[in-house]
Amino acid sequence: MTGDLAGPRTGGPLDLVRKLDVRVVVPVLFLVGIGLWSISAARPAFAAAQLRWCGVGFAATCAVLLIPYRRLLDLAWPAWIVSIGMLAAVLVFGESRNGAVRWLQFGPVGLQPSEFAKVAQVLVLARYIRFRRDHRTFKGLFVPFLITFVPMALVMMEPDLGTAAMFVPVLFAMLWAAGARTRHLLVVVAFGIAALPALYHSMPQGHYQRKRVDVFVASFLPKPDGRPSAPKIGDATPKDAPRKHDTFQRDEAVATVASGGLTGHSRAVDEPAQYERVPESWTDFVFVVHAEEWGLAGVLLLIGLWTALLGGFAMVASELKEPAGRLVCVGALVLLGTQAVVNMAMTMGSFPITGVPLPFVSYGGSSMLASWLLVAVVLHAKARQPVVFSVGDFD
Amino acid sequence: MYETRLSRVFALYGGLLALLAVRAFTLQVVTRDEVLDDHRKRVRGRIVVAPRRGEILWDDRTPIVSNEPGFSVEIDFKSFYANRWSCGDCAAVMQPKQEPVACAECGSDRALARATRPDALLADLLGLGREEYEAALLGADAKQAKHPDYRYHEFFRDVDRDTATRIALAADRLPGIIVRARSRRTPVDAASEVVGTTREPYPEDVLELSDPERKERGERVYSIAEIYPLRFGARGLEKAFDDELRGAPGISRRTPRDKDGRARDPAVEIPVVDGVVLHTTLSRDVQVLAEEIVAAAPGNAAAVVLDVTSGAVVAIASKSKDGLNHAVCSILPGSVFKLATSVALLESGISPDDEVECRGKGVLPSGREYKCDAAHGAMPFVDAFARSCNAYFATMAERAGPEAMRRACSELGLDVNPTLRLAGTPCGLEYSGQGGRWYRADMAKIGIGMGKALVSPVQIAMAYARIASGGRRIAPFLLRDEAPSAPEADPSLARFALLIRDAARRVVTEGTGRRVTELGDVEAAGKSGTGDVNTRGTEHNAWFVAFAPASAPRFVAVVVYEKVAGHGAETAGRPVARLLAEALR
């Protein structure tokens, strides 16, 4: 069924570089460029650090490319176990920022283990599923779900609901691509949806995550016609209605995106940019900087780059014959794609605010490194794809 | 299967990205202005910059009303009622969550005690008695019940600067009490009727200014926060020019510190537009006198002084209980309306030398009865004007006819009431419902200023100013910005202006106004009028209108006392003379 899992022999690092898939690398480099530009506009002091992390990510990619294919998959389980350990360590030793414990401090460097846990999940799922058929039964879904829910539960305890939610589409997409039965997955999805209200009510009243959901839901509820009821100047808003400070970040982000107009917001030299009012405009909300500065033209360029990158992943995935490589590509596509879509959607007010960064663009070493690692494994699968003789998908 | 599913996964993400592109297009192009408008109203860090309500100035550019800083004391009940501890050693009051172990000020731990509410201190600082203080507290409590989301509620307003300072200095002993500066419109003594008053926004103001349909009309839609600090005109010029005086609030936004951590000025989103300054034509001294004159009247009264050369209103005062400014309201004029009859008869070709026999009481050629103050005998025009002979003017009005009367009224400006944007009523021809139609049968009464003849003091002042100025079409104005260009002469009026001026001078020298010596002092020429309000003749509208100096008129003054027992000249002549003297001074 399968051939040499160690992969073909290569002619050395230069040969590997030549084999890098431009359909993946070029969009990534453009996205990184956009990210650097936006960060330097919002927080010039952070641009150098981002560039350093970008260099680290690229170096990590090159390092991954040097690892033989089989060895890389052999590293999947250890990587997953290390990531679980780091996630557990975060809960014990983690550093609290903005009310959540998500970072582990290694000297001057702070790492967010949840970002690496996502990469480890992709690798370990790909390794686990690649030659199996039992995931096509309901019972066989148990282990993949367990592999996913362990890190997910730890991330939720940080608490980081947004990042935890990223594990789910990756799991489903990889299982589905590997041939899991749709109806089985739909049953699980139905159970998941049914459990959402319980999850919502399990959040403490006034908790910021609950407020974010409230704000998002409130934005779809019918509003009064905007006219204040005259005799009630200054009347209290209902106690459970989202308050102004709850919607602040979303309101500012949406208005900042809108202010970009068609080709970007022109302003006087001394006039502060609107994005300066958006909290975290250099990290999770970096999209607003780009959208304000370049307008719809820039946004369409960014969306186009993401489409190109995801398309690149899909093309690589379709060209590969080796099952683990295929699944890694699908996992990378879904993970990065989901993060990008969720990030841009939340910035434009179409999704609850989550702590999900825009890969390659947002400031953040862990996110940058993890994203590069995902790209690295895809490029690795493409550059070092083993010869596979198969009669059908995942056979 | 793998290929299909892979392509579907990619299609899903491609579709989601396409939806994001559509969302971006909607946000940045289709609904951009709407989103930004909405955002401006909702975001935090938005500062509403209240406009400065426009000042109203006297003619010499000193302010009649302006804005002065005022102070109000506001209370946060939560802090005010909260537990506090006071130090027996240094009298400091602390408000920690837990009972302190030592004084935060002096470190003493000996005499810490639960502090009582500082009502006595606050009442003392405000200079309030117990009942007043409790009433104020109840008022603030009611405001809190109405607006529970607000932290501070107005407790006491219009606090003077010294009291405000004392309360501010006692802040450490008055937790929950703050002093807030508020702009205050200075009260107006003189010209209060003209200038009017301001008020807080009414619910209907909020509804009107926040109506989203204003946007379709190209007008700004205001939020409550923008409307709340505004003051609205309630009466007088404050109401008439409310839109201009009110100005438009500006919107600024707090900006984050710059990249070096330095604070930046708020970014101005919508510049504040202060209210315009209304430069009136009112002269302070004359206005004060006019107010004094009408204030002394037993009932309703009005006084107007016009500058004959331009039509500028030098003074305008009114006293009434109906909320209207009686200087621009219809009042039965009596004989001051004989000016219109004079112009009509002269223009219709009747010679001023034509005489009418007055027997004090009799029958007109038309068969209608007339009644005069005395049997004047044979009267030519000038004598009849000087002695205000009803027989002459009733007869001549009938001879001249309604058309000539209408034309004369139009030439004198009596057809439309210039209300000067004050609250008035229609007068003259404007008042008559059927397009200003007068009939020959009405002429005997209209000719002597009775019946359908209804004019305002401003109209009468304007009519006499036209004659005094030699027939120029003088139109009254109250604001310097609204001054018309140099009025042209009306040839018809100009022909007879001198004759009528002479007749008016005779009123003062040997006619009905001869007993008012003060009129002679200012070389006035004028006309008295007594409009009978009831049929018994016990209540009159006593008018006097005069211009001075008669040889080169500069000012015309009218005073009317409504429903008084006295006659025109004896009642209103002296006040007119005072007004003219003051204006000429």
Secondary structure (3-state) at A106: strand
Residues in B touching A307 (Cβ below 8 Å): 14, 17
Band (pLDDT 50/70/90 cuts) for residue B534 is confident
Average pLDDT for residues A236-249, to the nearest whole number?
A: 53
Per-residue confidence band for A331, with pLDDT thresholds at 50, 70 and 90 = very high
Asked if A255 and B267 come within 8 Å (Cβ–Cβ), the reply is no
What ranges make up the beta strands (E) of B76-130? 85-87, 93-94, 112-114
CA distance A384 to chain B (A): 21
Instruction: Give the pLDDT confidence score for residue A7 in this predicted structure.
Output: 47
CB-CB contact of A328 with A175 (8 Å): no
Of the candidates B469, B462, B391, which has an alpha carbon nearest to the alpha carbon of residue B427?
Answer: B462
By mean pLDDT, which of A359-363, B53-57, B70-74, B328-332 is the weakest? B70-74
Instruction: Determine, for residues B28 and A258 on separate chains, whether the beta-carbon distance falls below 8 Å.
Output: yes
Q: Region B66-86: what's the mean pLDDT?
A: 78
Pick the range with the lowest mean pLDDT from A339-348, B388-397, B525-534.
Answer: B525-534
If we measure between CA atoms, which residue out of B468, B473, B476 comes closest to residue B497? Answer: B468
Contacts of A284 (CB under 8 A, 6+ apart): A343, A355, A356, A357, A358, A362
Query: CB-CB: which of A44, A254, A306 is closest to B17?
Result: A306
B260-287 exposure pattern, b = at least 16 Cβ within 10 A, e = fewer: eeeeeebbeeeebebbbbbbbbbbeebb
Cα distance between residue B327 and residue B43, in whole Å: 49
Under the phi-then-psi rule, with left for phi > 0, alpha for psi from -120 to 50, and beta for the rest, what region is B358?
beta
Rounded to the nearest integer, the mean pLDDT of chain B is 86
Distance CA B245, CA B53 (A): 5
* Radius of gyration, alpha carbons of chain B: 34
- State residue B436's pLDDT score: 57
- Distance, CA of B187 to CA of B238 (rounded, Å): 12
- Region A336-357: mean pLDDT is 90
A244: which chain B residues are within 8 Å (Cβ-Cβ)?
Answer: 42-44
- For residue A224, is pLDDT > 50? no
Residue B187 — pLDDT band, cuts 50, 70, 90? confident
| pLDDT interval class at B261 (50, 70, 90) | low
Determine the Cα angle at A74 with ends A72 and A76, to 5°.
Answer: 80
For residue B236, the one-letter residue type is G
Selecting from A176, A262, A314 the residue whose C-beta is nearest the C-beta of B28 gives A262
pLDDT at A230 over 50: no
Q: What is the mean pLDDT of residues B192-207?
A: 84
pLDDT, residue A245, reads 53
pLDDT tens for residues B209-221? Answer: 988 889 888 888 8
Q: Is the pLDDT of residue A238 over 70?
A: no
Cβ distance B28 to A237 less than 8 Å, yes or no, reads no
Counting one residue from chain A and one from chain B, the pairs whose CB atoms sit within 8 A come to 161
Closest A-chain CA to B14: A307
- A228, A303, A393 member nearest B1 (Cβ): A393
Higher-confidence residue: B426 or B467?
A: B467
What lies within 8 Å, CB to CB, of A3 at 6+ separation is A386, A387, A388, A389
A40: nearest CA partner in chain B: B259
Tell me whether residues A230 and B206 touch, CB distance under 8 A.
yes
Query: Please, which pLDDT band fits residue B345 given cuts at 50, 70 and 90?
Result: very high
How high is the pLDDT of residue A340?
94
Better-scored residue on pLDDT, A11 or A150 = A150
Residue B517 CB: number of other CB atoms within 10 A?
12
Quickly state the pLDDT bin for B256 (edges 50, 70, 90). Answer: low
| A336 or B107, which is more confident | A336
User: Residue B24 and residue A299: Cβ atoms within 8 Å?
Assistant: yes
Q: Which of A202-216, B22-36, B458-472 has the lowest mean pLDDT?
A: A202-216
Identity of the residue in B35, B42, B267 whose CB atom sits nearest the CB atom of A258: B35
Angle among Cα B477, B478, B480 to the nearest 5 degrees reads 90
In this predicted structure, what is the pLDDT of residue B424? 84
Q: Which of B5, B212, B256 minimises the CB distance to A177?
A: B5
B30 touches chain A (CB under 8 A): no
> Looking at chain B, how many residues does it have?
585
pTM over 0.80: no
Rg over alpha carbons for chain A, rounded to the nearest Å, is: 22
**pLDDT recorded at residue A239:** 42
> Which SS3 state, helix, strand or coil, does residue A103 take?
strand
How far CA A94 is from CA of A102, A115, A253, A259, A289, in Å, comes to 6, 14, 29, 38, 30
Neighbouring residues of A281: CB distance < 8 A, sequence distance ≥ 6: A42, A43, A256, A275, A288, A289
Q: With an 8 Å Cβ cutoff, are B42 and A251 in contact? A: yes
**Consecutive H or E run containing B531:** strand B525-532
Token pair listed for A161: 């609901």
> Scanning every residue of chain A, which has its alpha carbon at the shortest distance from the alpha carbon of B150?
A234
Distance CA B311, CA B491 (A): 18
- As beta bridge partners, residue A194 has none
pLDDT value for B67: 84
Q: Burial, A15: exposed, middle or buried (Cβ in 10 Å; 0-12, 13-18, 19+)?
A: exposed
**Chain B residue with Cα closest to A337:** B13
Looking at residue A219, its pLDDT comes to: 66
Q: Strands B56-57 and B278-279: what pairing?
A: parallel
Which pLDDT value is given to residue B523? 92
Which span out of A118-132, A182-196, B310-324 was modeled with the highest average pLDDT? B310-324
- Residue B326 clears pLDDT 80, i.e. is over it: yes
B95 falls in which pLDDT band (50, 70, 90)? low
CB contact under 8 A, A233 and B206: yes
Mean pLDDT of B107-125: 76
What's the pLDDT at A296? 93
Nearest chain B alpha carbon to A227: B210
Q: Is 80 exceeded by the pLDDT of residue B271?
A: yes
Predicted pLDDT at B347: 92
Does residue A97 surpass a pLDDT of 70?
no
Return the percentage of chain B with pLDDT > 70, whole number.
92
CA distance A13 to chain B (A): 31
Q: What is the pLDDT of residues A250-282, one digit of tens each?
A: 888 898 899 888 888 766 655 667 787 788 888
State how far the Cα of B218 lies from the Cα of B229, in Å rounded to an integer: 23
- For residue A390, pLDDT beyond 60: no
Q: Do A344 and B20 touch (CB under 8 A)?
A: yes
A205-219, B51-65, B163-177, B203-217: which range is least confident on average?
Answer: A205-219
- The whole-number pLDDT of residue A11 equals 55
- Look up residue B300 and give its DSSP letter: -
What residues of chain B lie within 8 A of the CB of A261, using their CB?
Answer: 28-29, 32
User: Could you report the per-residue pLDDT of B400-412, keeping only the tens digit for each?
Assistant: 998 999 899 999 9
Residues B69 and B159: beta-carbon distance below 8 Å: no
- Report whether B580 contacts B308 (CB < 8 A): no
- Decide if B453 contacts B444 (C-beta within 8 A): no
pLDDT bucket at A2, cuts 50 / 70 / 90? very low
Answer whether residue B373 shows pLDDT above 50. yes
Structure tokens at A57: 């990510």
- Taking alpha carbons only, the member of A112, A125, A161 closest to residue A331 is A125
* C-beta separation of B449 from B334 below 8 A: yes
pLDDT at A231: 33
Q: How far apart are CA B9 and CA B1, in angstroms?
A: 12
User: Phi and psi of B472, rounded to 5°?
Assistant: -80, 150
What pLDDT, on a 0 to 100 scale, did the predictor assign at position A277?
76
Task: Name the nearest CA neighbour of A157 among A215, A205, A113.
Answer: A113
The chain-wide mean pLDDT, for chain A, equals: 80
Q: Does B39 touch chain A (CB under 8 A)?
A: yes
For residue A310, which residues of chain B lie inside 8 Å, CB to CB?
10, 13-14, 17
Does the pLDDT of residue B234 top 50, yes or no? Answer: yes
Mutate to test the interface with A, among B1, B7, B10 (most CBs of A within 10 A): B10
Identity of the residue in A176, A234, A296 whose CB atom sits nearest the CB atom of B5: A176
CA of A11 vs chain B CAs: smallest distance (Å): 31
Between B186 and B576, residue with greater pLDDT = B576
B32 interface with A at CB cutoff 8 Å: yes
- Check B10 against A311: CB less than 8 A apart: yes
Residue B172 has pLDDT above 90, yes or no: no
Amino acid at A339: Q
What percent of chain B clears pLDDT 90, i.e. is strictly above it? 39
pLDDT band at B544 (very low <50, low <70, confident <90, very high): very high
